[in-house]
Amino acid sequence: MCWLGTALVRPAIALAAAIFVMTGPSEAITLSRVDNMIHISGPIEIGDGKRLSAFIESEKARLKPTLTEGDSFEWKVSLDSTGGSLSDGIEIGRLFHTHQFETLIERGKSCYSACAIAFLGGVRQYATGIGPWREMQLGATLGFHGYRSSGKEVVLLNEAFDQARALNGLILEYAAQIKQVDLGFLSELLNVPAEEMRLIKTPSQLKKLGIWLADPPKRPADAGYNVCLAAINKIRPSLDGFLDDDRLGRNVRRLRTPAELLASLIADRYASDFATDRPKRAALTKMPVSAAIDLITGSHVDPDYVQFPVERYDLGRGSGFYYDQCYVLFGGDQPGAQTQSIVLSNSGSSVYTFHAALDSHPPDKPLW
């Protein structure tokens, strides 16, 4: 439950007061560092944001004499906490973002409530800039819920509602600043009753929160269908009123060689028997296979990096959706191997997409 310094103050004043989730006896978080990993465990109490800031500065000052020119503090933070102070959770998440620390929840560890909010602040330094980086391992637990005000005094219903709405506004503002969070989905999580917890375990949930699964499970038997589903959901009209199965058929045709793939692409792309299509078909069959595939799809598809067989699925048209087939090109048997998809239309257009491992799994089925 979320407690405001006094239950009778107006919402604007209440937000300036202490905001935290009651977690039992008062215990501050435990902070430690091993090499480039900071470990944070235990309930998050009021003032822990400032304690973490001081800890980071102290560790950096201690290591600074050992650094050479060009070195930087590329640290990751492992979290294991039941939650606690919401204001400090937000402050801790901002610290992760400012210092460009990646966040991690390891297998067997948990991160709930205010800890989950802090976890979203993870950042990675890329060659071209910085971007969000939140990582979980299979078997880790991440949980969100809503926040509400309570206290020993009686709170008018409209005041309690205004306070809860203002708290949600603070969290959504923070999430908008740290990027790559589906604000609509986060709003849904913040409407979960404060005494309950929504656990994040499905591919759809992980993607909406921009979370990287460090060790995805083995590719399932229906991986091709799931990849096509992810591909068409990126391009179909969002309000066309059709269900997924109305767009994507379950029947699959497996193409076992690059030559079979090219023949199928030619037949699908130039399905009509127009006179203008005949010379195109003839020209494509005389070209090197890789070049011909690239020409048809409008993208570079190197068969040497494709694990055959390639899977082909039929698509249903309608309501502005003008695609006819979906091809799935797996990159290998390894759990983290990238997959490619080609959504093809015999009217000429195609959409070529790379897919991470999560797209190979049913979007709403828990992974563990």
Rounded Cα gap, residues 357 and 212, in angstroms: 10
Provide the angle, in degrees to the nearest 10, between the axes of the packed helices 86-99 and 48-63. 20
Tens digits of residue pLDDT in 127-166: 777 889 999 999 999 999 997 655 544 445 455 556 677 8
What does pTM read for this prediction? 0.83
Residue 228 lies in a domain: yes
Considering only residues 1 and 328, tell me which one the structure prediction assigns the higher pLDDT: 328
Are residues 199 and 227 both part of a single domain? no
Rounded Cα gap, residues 268 and 239, in angstroms: 27
Mode of pairing for the β-strands spanning 102-105 and 134-136: parallel
How many separate domains does the chain show? 2
| Token representation of residue 176 | 């908008």
Considering only residues 71 and 83, tell me which one the structure prediction assigns the higher pLDDT: 83
Residue 201 lies in a domain: yes
Q: Which domain does 38 fall in, by range? A: 2-213
Residue 172: pLDDT over 70: yes
Alpha helical stretches, state H, 190-276:
203-208, 223-235, 244-247, 258-269
Are residues 73 and 93 both part of a single domain? yes
Rounded Cα gap, residues 287 and 279, in angstroms: 13
Are residues 292 and 170 both part of a single domain? no
Alpha helical stretches, state H, 211-257:
223-235, 244-247
Q: Which of 353, 333, 334, 331 is nearest to 342 (CA)?
A: 353
Are residues 227 and 170 both part of a single domain? no
Are residues 125 and 35 both part of a single domain? yes
Are residues 25 and 70 both part of a single domain? yes
Residue type, 81: S
Residue 342 lies in a domain: yes
Residue type, 70: G
Tens digits of residue pLDDT in 194-209: 889 999 999 999 999 9
160, 179, 213 - which closes a domain: 213
Are residues 227 and 209 both part of a single domain? no
What pLDDT, on the 0 to 100 scale, is given for residue 210? 96
Tens digits of residue pLDDT in 4-24: 332 323 333 233 333 333 333
